Each structure stands twice: as C-alpha cells, then as structure tokens.
Amino acid sequence: MKNYKIAVAIMMVLSAGPAAHAQFNLKSLAGKAASAIKPGASNASAGSNATSSAASSASVPAAKGKTFYVSITTGSARADGLSATSAMKDLQKAIDTAEENDVILVAEGNYLGNLDRGYVESGKFGNAQNDRGKYISIYGGYATDFSERDVIKHVTKIQPTSQKFTAPLMNINARRPYGYTGPVGTVVIDGFTFDLGENNRYCVANVDLEITGTPNTGVLTGRFLEPDASPQCPTEGYSSGDEYALHMDVEGNIRVSNCVFVNCRDYGISAMMGMGHMEICNNIFVACRYAACQVRGSTRDADIEKVSLEFHHNTVLFTWTRTKTFEDMGQGFRFMNGIRTIDVHNNIFGCNSNCAVERVYYESNKEMEKLKVSNLYDNYYFANRRDLEIAAMGAPSISVPAARIEEAEQIGPKYEGNVEMPEGNDAFLNAIDKPYLEGFLSLTIMSSQSYNPNSAANQINRAFGLNQQGSEIVRPSMYCNKYPWEKAADLFGKVANYGAQMPR
C-alpha cells in the first residue's frame, strides 16, 4: 500500500454569464487507496487477529453488586433479571432497577428502550445536576442463553428505524454532589453497536442523478440530508435533528470499549468529564458526523489537575463535516479544554473530511493552557484532509501533517510515532467497504452561483434601495452517505497494535 494523503485542489472558474462555478476535489496522492483493495482478497494477515495488552479486555470484572441479565429475544418483561434463566427483556428496566456498582449483561439483539422509544438512559439527558444517575457497568455481546460472549458474533445494538426521539441513543449520567469527598464509582459501556443509519434521512441512491450525491454503484444511499433540507429527489429515512449516539456526563472511573459507532449524525461519543479518568479504547467509528469523539472537562478550573483521558486503539474513519458545504466540524478526535492530561495513541485515523485530530487551545486563558498536557503519539494516518489541526476561538487554525507533529508546541511531551500508514496493510483496506472508500477518494463539491437582476425579488429590492439577491447551490458528489453497519465490525483486528484489536 502506498502512503496516502488527501490532496486538496480548489479550482474556481468564473464565467461572464450569470452563473459562477466552483469545484472542490478530494483525491489521494501517489495513487488511489482503492487500487490496493483486491476483490476477493483474504482479510487474513499477521495482524488480522492481533490483540494488544494496551487495548482493554472485553472480560467482565467481578461484580461488586448484583448482576442483571437482559435478553430481548428470550427474556421476560416481568422477570427479575437476576439469573440467565430469568433474564429481563427490557434494557431500560434493568438500568432503572440496578443500583450502585451493579453489572448488566446484555444478549444479542436490538434494544430500543422502554416500549421502543428509541433510546436508553441512566439519568436524564441535559439534567445531570438534578438527576445524577448511578455507577453501573453494561456489557453487550452475549449469546441469548449467556453461554458465551463474543461482541462480533452476538451483535448487541441500538439501531432505531422510524422512531422520532429527542435524546441520545444511550445517555449515561454518573455524578456526585459538589463537595463530595468519598469514593467514586466505575462506569463501563462495552460491546455495543450504535447505528443511526436506519433513522437518518438520505437521498435515495441514484448514480445518474447528480443531486442525490451518490458517488458510485454500491454505496447504499445518496447523501445525508439535514432536517431542513428539501431536495428535488426521492428520499428515505427520517431525521428529527442532531442526536448523539453515546452521551455521558460523568466522573470517576469511566471506560467505553469494544463498541461500534456507525452513521452517527451528531457525534459518536460526546461526553462531559468531571474529576477522574476516562478511557476510550478499542472502538470502531465509521461515518459519523460532527466528530467521532469529543470529551470536554466539566469541572471548575481549579479541578483540572484531577481530570484525565486516554483515547487509544480506536479505528476512526469517514468523519463528516456539519453540513454538505464542508465548512466546519468533521474531526476524528478533539482535544477539548478542561482536562489536565489527554493521551491519544495507537489509533488509526483515515478519510476524515476535516481532520484526524483537532487540538483546541485556550487563546484567552494562558494560565489554563499551561495546565494542559496533550500527548499524541504512535498513530497511523491515511487519506485525511488534515492530520492535525490546532484551533482556538478567534485565532487562525494551524494545519499540521503527521510528519511534522513534533513541531507543534501544543502537543507533548509525547509526540513520536505519528506516521502515514505504512505499506503492507492491505487486509485493513480490504475490510473497508470498497464503494464507500472509492467514493470518498474521488469526492468533488460543485458550487454554482446565479444572479437574475429581473427576478421579482430584485426588482422590489431596487425599488426600496435594498441589496440585490443571488442564489448558490452546493452539490457534493458524496456527503455522509450510509455505511453498511454490518461491515464496520470487519475493521477489528486488521493491523497489529494499531486501531481496534479483536475484542477478547
């Protein structure tokens, strides 16, 4: 495999007529990555079953409290859930019943909350101060009889279809009252697939109709549609607005691992982290919008020393911008403020439409900026528009390629080992959906502007001395199209020690 990097070329063609056209091309240097995908090739390689001691195990620790069993296919609505043979049917009921330090084991199936409302929650979304939730651990990936656990074989998912809902697919609150000095607990979310692809609204795929944003045959849908969009083409799905996949407002010892986040229209993970440590490891993020993962520190400035985050051994692909104009967002991982130490390492970042990693810094608070340690090391990059972007409110952004990350003073003291993905990782490329990858690597954005001085609006505007009006159409060849969720898990364990390893 070549060393791949997105080359961005912008060509403006101005005509003498009423319309102006702009074209934005997104291509790889040194040939297409898609050419390395061999039809029918085996995904097996030395790294295909690799695991790493750095990637947290999927094994379940001994419960400090009770253990609840949930199976949507074999459980009962009236069961107590305290054994595999008396499993509950409703994950939300188990969460509501569980107490501090309890563990919930969840069998394969699709869990949509009480009476299929589309989500599950521990504590109310946006109300952490008044509903602080509790410290519980939830593990998916079990067989229906709980005889074995395999998060790839026994898919445990939250995948709403036509529901209209106004909450994250999963919301977890775990806080203590301010001033509390006793021990904090543990929260684990492990072995779930979060997919919004069946709920999002898309143009119906049509390679012959440019407006649909269908780059080639084999991509499941046309482009994603914002809630207020009304294209002149058939659509499918339903979008009620921007919804998180996993939202957390937590403190203590937190881990999110062995999960798949795919087609998430408003972040894969968005979290507020209080005092304690959060570990996000061994997850797959594919075709998420806004950012794949964003964690903010939510403590007082004085408590920043007590907050840390580690983001490692994750595979982050195809993160999309906020809108089809590709103006903002679209980050794989964001270094946010309010956290003392963030370690980002042994990840694979590929095909992110804005940047693989964004380091946000305090422009107006130099003292707080001095307290932050942002370590970025031993990561693979390929085909990102930018590898690292350093950004602050009111200041120009700085774009940094992987090979020059050591020069970025906002990163360190650990900065070594950030490189373009080396040759010899065809098993990884073969695991990516080929039509989707080819569509991304040939992405173009057409922009056209027009002005009609004789339109009714412009005639009225002239009469009242108002500005003349024109119109602009932005038409991408691809934008946040649906990724086949079943294929996302194929990305586990394809590169030894980088990206998500095989769950164990």
Where residue 301 falls among pLDDT bands split at 50, 70, 90? low
Instruction: Measure the CA–CA gap between 116 and 124, rounded to whole angstroms.
Output: 17
List the single range of 239-248, 281-290, 474-483 with lowest mean pLDDT: 239-248
3-state SS record for 156-167 = EEECCCCCCCCC
Q: Which of 70-84, 227-241, 354-368 has the highest mean pLDDT?
A: 70-84
**CB of 105 closer than 8 Å to CB of 146:** yes
pLDDT for 14 beyond 50: no
Beta sheet of 6-13, edge-to-edge order = 6-13, 19-28, 443-451, 470-476
Supply the DSSP string of 91-159, one letter for each residue: HHHHHHH--TT-EEEEESEE---GGG-S-EEES-TT-TTT--B---EEEEEE-TTSS-B-TTTS-EEE-
Token pair for residue 176?
A: 């203590």
Closest CA to 315 of 293, 337, 336: 293
424 pLDDT more than 50 = yes
- Using alpha carbons, select from 430, 402, 281, 297 the residue that is nearest to residue 346: 281
| pTM given for the model | 0.86
**Residue 60 structure tokens:** 């379940």
Which residues, in sequence order, are bridge partners of residue 480? none
Bridge-based pairing state of the strands 284-286 and 315-317: parallel
pLDDT of residue 391: 86
Give 273's DSSP letter: E
Cα dist. 486→30, 303, 332, 483 in Å? 30, 42, 21, 9
Judged by DSSP in three states, 396 sits in: strand
Contact 49, 83 (CB under 8 A): no
Residue predicted with more confidence, 180 or 249: 249
Q: What is the mean pLDDT of residues 227-234?
A: 87
**Winning range, highest mean pLDDT, from 25-39, 151-165, 458-472:** 151-165
Q: Cα dihedral angle (320, 310, 377, 501), rounded to 10 degrees? A: -70
Q: Say how far residue 160 (Cα) sits from the centre of its chain.
A: 17
Q: What pLDDT, in 10s, does the model give residues 392-408?
A: 766 778 999 999 999 99
Q: Among the ranges 114-118, 206-210, 323-327, which has the highest mean pLDDT value? A: 206-210
127: confidence class by pLDDT, cuts 50, 70, 90? low
Note the pLDDT of residue 166. 66
**What's the whole-number mean pLDDT along residues 332-352?**
95
Task: Give me the pLDDT at residue 181, please.
Answer: 72
Contact call for residues 42 and 49 (beta carbons, < 8 A)? no
| Residues constituting the chain | 504
Omega cis (within 30) before 476:
no
3-state secondary structure of 175: coil
Q: What is the dihedral of CA 43, 48, 49, 51, to 10 degrees?
A: -160
As a whole number of angstroms, the distance between CA 125 and CA 362 comes to 27
Share of the chain above pLDDT 90, in %: 62
> With bands split at pLDDT 50, 70 and 90, how would you rate the model's confidence at 30?
very low
Contact by Cβ (8 Å): 68, 465: no
* Residue 125: per-residue pLDDT: 65
Assign 180 a pLDDT band (cuts: 50, 70, 90).
confident
Rg of the Cα atoms in the chain: 23
Angle at alpha carbon of residue 279, lines to 274 and 284, rounded to 5°: 125
> What share of the chain in percent tops pLDDT 70?
77
Please give the structure tokens belonging to residue 430. Answer: 């073969």
Is pLDDT at 4 greater than 90 in this prediction? no
pLDDT over threshold 90, residue 22: no
- Under 8 Å between Cβ of 480 and 486: no
Distance CA 451, CA 15 (A): 12
